[in-house]
Structure 1
Amino acid sequence: MRTWLAFFVFAFGLASEAHIGSPNVFFEGKAGEYFVRAVIRPPQVVPGLAEITLRVPGEPVERVMVLPVFSKAGRQGAPPPDEARLVRGETNLYTAALWLMKPGAYSVDVTIEGSRGRGTLILPVNSMATNTRPMSRGLGIVLSALAVLLFLGALKIAGAIFGESRLEPGARPTKKDQWRGRGAMGLAAGVLALLAFGGKLWWDIEDANYRTNALYRPLPVLAQARTERDQQILTIKVDSAERRGQWTPLIPDHGKMMHLFLVRDGEPGAFAHLHPARRNETEFEAPLPPLPAGPYHVYADVTHEDGFAETLTATAEIPPASLAMKRLWLGDSAEPICSLEVAQKLATNLFLPPDADDSWQMDNAERGDPRPGNNYPHDPVQHVVDAGGGYKMIWENPGPFMENHDISLRVRLLAPDNQPALLEPYLGMLGHAVVRRQDGTVFAHVHPVGTFSMAAQEFFVKGMARKGSALTGQPHQSPEEQQSSAGELHRNHTKGVGTAGEVSFPYAFPKSGPYRIWVQTKSEGRILTGVFDTTVAAAK
């Protein structure tokens, strides 16, 4: 018997760079021998100017070059690179403005030259129209006044041409001349009125076309939970007909076609990071752990074959898990254990086995954790949370935070013996952070190297080079330098492997208000999740 429990929700059209309400791209890592912290602020309209700032600590560099590359044109079709200028009063902060002319996936290729040689960096960014720019009231009044002036002037000119142009100097117009001039003015008024009406009609058509076809709108998604052989399975269906021709094949990010996040509001809170199996081009399925029943927000990160990354959204109603499923997933443990060993055990007992990298978390109140003084693992006062298995996470810089202020979220993991834990790569990274504003208007999946899709970056570093000479490398890069860029990509993605305890995430909260942050790391084969709450102040 199959029980379908879900409802259809259209994804809401907020700006995203594989994110919701958080379009800026952040990077922290190395370009050759240079450490770089970069921020790209894409435009809200297309064509538009993207602003990029790069901080290169250490000794001054000779120059910084930046180049926007459109995925469909390649580097051969890119304009000449721009030189980023040094910000006045700074010694290592550079800025540039780059035109993004078409909607789609771009990369910003950064080249740094200095005493330590040349370093290259490739940062993917989405170019998409997410807004319209309204005309200011003052400008509208001025333009309206000028239009009336031009209208009256055109009538006066028409009347003079037909009523007075044939008169001798000093002669006065006859009544016939006056009526001829007035008739010309009336005819001109009609013609000008038709032109104004046609212009308004053209304006409305262009505006409707822009809002319908140019403004980015995430595809509608249906999330449904069903029960099969006592197991709960979540199905994700993308309605590709809504944006015909724009749902293109996907490429894997860290080996996964989709990164799916489930968030339950209220008490008890719950969170899951799953990796559905693809059934066809638009349908995915993921086995559900025994999460608390109730409504969930669903976020699906995907990257298309052209490097364009987006976050699809839906809501789903998840029914209660059976007692047998809880026992199977949890065993004798009072908390989720997310590891390869547990995944392998589940694979032998479930109709649809979970992915080995799936992870989930529940508030202690749901788990029935009896430990006193730690009933709320996301207590914003303590800044120390239970990550499961006796591990603790410490938020090293818990604020205060201000909107649009660049920061690094630093978290330290302690082993059950209160010693720094040895971090292991989880999905190719030392950690993952999921940032969500309480009302859902902001959602971001952040890595230690930044907020962009790793699959998109790999596409621009490697994938475009495989398409042929027209898209191969930067104009000034040799094959050896292209290979070096690919090696730097791997080192940045796995930077700090084997370091003890600490991981950081570059970010800036885009809006003030309450936020929840889930930080995921891996140690001794176990995926650990810590939950933190914070409130971001408005900019002064």
Structure 2
Amino acid sequence: MESFRLKTILLFSTLYILTSTFSFAHIGSSGVLFQGQAGAYRVLVSLQPPDVIPGTAQVTVYLENGNVKTVMARPIYFRTGDEGAPSADPLASVPNQTGQFQGIVWLMGGGATSVQITLDGDSGKSEIVVPLVAIATAQREMPAGLGVLLSILGLLLVVLLITAIGASASDGLLKAGIPLTPKQRRARWTNMGIAAVACTAILYGGSSWWNNWTDDYRQFMYKPLQGTGKIMNQNNERVFQLKIDTLQLVQSRQRRTTLSYLIPDHGKLMHLFLVRQNTFDAFAHLHPERRDTTTFEAYLPKLPAGKYLVYADIVQRSGFTETITDTIEIPAVYGNALLKTDPEDTYVVTDPLNNPKQIPIDENVVICGKPGTKTKLKDGSSIVWEGKPDVSFEAGKPYQLAFEVLDPAGKPAELEPYLGMNGHAAIIKSDGSVYIHLHPVGTYSMAAQQSMQSRIADTTRIYRLPTNTQVFRDSIDRYIASLKAMTPADRDRLLMASMTGMDSQKMAGMKHENRIVFPYAFPKPGQYRIFLQIKRNGQVLTGIFDATVKAASM
């Protein structure tokens, strides 16, 4: 275990250098991490997608146990599936680093994709599929010096080509020392003139093609979905409504909008996080219901009035994951604010950033904690963030965010699955520029992984979405309704059974250890607040912790 933690530290130490700050399913935290079971092997996989397409994704695999001799990796695109995927490439064993493999895979097309990792060792052959979003988010500029050099070389080649063509109709027909006749001189100049016109036309055509290609690339660069939130009064209750705007995407021809083909993640079609701006002293995790293709609504709990940051996670049928952002002004509470859109909707009130212990009286109040401190939850149990108090984290450095849950008597608490996992965490930077929804198994969407696995099992070479959007939507709505009708234990058993990388022994009997670990590297300096959510005795509980992150030391 210690060696695996050391390897994790080495891995995370490279993330800050290799990654950009753009992300799709999260804000400001790039790359994908998978930590879990690949057959008999427990692995940590890091994928760093390129920001230009075509491009190469960096792949790093660490082994916690077992003796693996070869590791292969290949990209599998949702559109073309397993049948249209290229052959796998070997990952090289890193010298002097036992159990560490590293390499690249070429991503030639954009959109929802994945990297299939195949491990072969003493415990046999195992595979794991890690979902990835491959979309162009940057455009490279050619250095001025290189452009001048290439222009000079290109001009030289054109002159040489024109000269050679002219000589082929004159000097090239004569023996050495024989002078050209006037007719041959005219033929040389005529051919050189024709060659000059032809080369000019070729250069102009190539330049036009290049400019058109550049314009198309710029037009198809990824632009995030935009959403507009508002608060409505329905029967004297506050209702949050989010409308997703797809007009910009249609106008820019960026990509086909597929909001009719959303699929649930952890059994929910949308995960909505609200946090009061600047103070971060009020937080809600809601699951709005879909009213039409672009409209989602949810009853608001007793969140105090103020301006809130909005983060809404959705997953498309292809596994393409996105986070829609907005800010919204929430008015003061009216009505009884007891109605819930979803039984697992939850909220919490805590002390503001930089102003501890100044909190209102509310049944959902939780005092914020720091590393090495104990935070008491509303049911009397508590969460301890393992570590030294008043520690200052470094941006880009690796950290295993480890939490231990204790019951009211101070003994290890028995956790219940919450949305199919033993814990969830939302980490948000104080200025809202970083947001990530974490799980103990990593930073990827479970629904995206399941979608890619089902696509790999499908032998259809080119996937096409169903033409009848209403039929697809109705089937998803029926599935979500069936989940709501189940008992919590049955629902979580069903959700966990489909999650790759989960330990089957822990799934048996729905028992979980009371220690939860989230691998994460804070991407940049600043203040962060961590909202950790667990479930005990049928009740969702939220613990809040603060972290101060400084610039990485050289």
| TM-score over 0.5 (shorter chain) | yes
Task: Tell me the C-alpha RMSD between the 2 structures.
Answer: 3.5
- C-alpha separation between the residues in 2 aligned to 1:512 and 1:194? 53
Cα pair distance change 1:225/1:487, threshold 3 Å: closer
- What is residue 549 of structure 2 aligned with on the other side? 535
1:507 paired to 2:520: yes
| Structure 2 CA distance for aligned equivalents of residues 14 and 281 of structure 1 | 30
Measured against aligned partners, the alpha-carbon deviations of 1:332-376 in whole angstroms (never above 9, x if no partner) come to xxxxxxxxxxxxxx34xxxxx331111112223674259xxxx99
The answer to whether structure 1 residue 107 and structure 2 residue 119 are counterparts is: no
Alignment of 1:346-385 (within 5 A): 346-347=338-339, 353-364=340-351, 367-369=359-361, 377-378=367-368, 380=370, 383-385=373-375
Quote how far apart the aligned CAs of 1:188 are: 6.3
1:28-47 residue pairs with structure 2 within 5 A? 28-47=35-54
Structure 1 residues 151 and 111 mapped into 2: Cα distance closer, same or farther (>3 Å)? closer
1:226 aligned counterpart, secondary structure: strand
2:422 and 2:512 in contact (8 A); partners too: no
Q: Distance in 1 between matches of 2:216 and 2:203?
A: 20
CA distance in 2, matches of 1:271, 1:51: 35
- Give a deviation string over 1:184-229, Cα, whole Å, max 9, x none: 878866665555444333322211111112x121122121112222
Q: Which 5+ residue runs of structure 1 have no aligned equivalent? A: 1-12, 330-345, 348-352, 473-484
Assess, with a 3 A threshold, how the Cα gap between structure 1 residues 421 and 294 changes in structure 2: closer, same or farther: same
8 Å Cα contact 1:437-1:515 kept in structure 2: yes
Please list every run of 5 or more consecutive structure 2 residues that lacks an aligned counterpart in the other structure: 1-19, 251-255, 353-357, 464-495
> Which residue pairs with 2:258 in the alignment?
247
Q: Which residue of 2 aligns with 1:3?
A: none
Shift in CA distance, 292/152, structure 1 to aligned 2, threshold 3 Å? farther
Residue of structure 1 in register with 2:492 after alignment: none
Deviations 1:305-329 (A, max 9, x none): 122212122222222222xx4xx34
Contact 2:377 2:541 in 1 (8 A): yes
Counterpart of 1:57 in structure 2 is 64
Number of positions where the alignment pairs a residue of Structure 1 with one of Structure 2: 485
| Cα distance between partner residues in 2 of 1:454 and 1:493 | 16
Question: Are the equivalent residues in 2 in contact too, given 1:17–1:125 (CA < 8 A)?
Answer: no
Structural mapping, 1:127-526, within 5 Å:
127-154=134-161, 170=177, 192=199, 195-213=202-220, 215-244=221-250, 245-248=256-259, 249-267=261-279, 269-322=281-334, 325=335, 328-329=336-337, 346-347=338-339, 353-364=340-351, 367-369=359-361, 377-378=367-368, 380=370, 383-397=373-387, 400-462=392-454, 465=457, 467=458, 489=500, 491-492=502-503, 495=506, 498-526=511-539
Q: Classify the secondary structure of the residue corresponding to 1:62.
A: strand
1:185–1:74: structure 2 CA closer, same or farther, 3 Å change rule?
closer
SS at match of 1:73: coil
**2:36–2:43: 8 Å Cα contact kept in structure 1?**
yes
In the alignment, the residues of structure 2 paired with residue 180 and residue 117 of structure 1 have an alpha-carbon distance, to the nearest angstrom, of: 73
Contact 2:82 2:456 in 1 (8 A): no
- Normalising by structure 1, report the TM-score: 0.79
The structural deviation recorded for 1:37 is: 1.1
Alpha-carbon spacing, 1:181–1:77, altered in 2? closer, same or farther (3 Å): closer
1:268 and 1:74 mapped to 2: Cα distance? Answer: 43
2:182 & 2:34 partners in 1: Cα distance? Answer: 78
SS of corresponding position for 1:76: coil
Q: Do the aligned partners of residues 191 and 381 (structure 1) sit closer, same or farther apart at CA in structure 2, a change above 3 Å counting? A: same
**Cα 1:206–1:14 shift into 2, 3 Å:** farther
2:527–2:546 Cα contact (<8 Å) kept: no
Provide the C-alpha distance between the structure 2 equivalents of 1:100 and 1:206, rounded to a whole number of angstroms.
18
> Residue 162 of structure 1: CA displacement?
8.1
**Is the 1:385–1:532 contact (alpha carbons within 8 Å) kept by the matching residues of 2?**
no
Q: Provide the rounded CA distance (Å) in 1 between the counterparts of 2:288 and 2:504.
A: 23
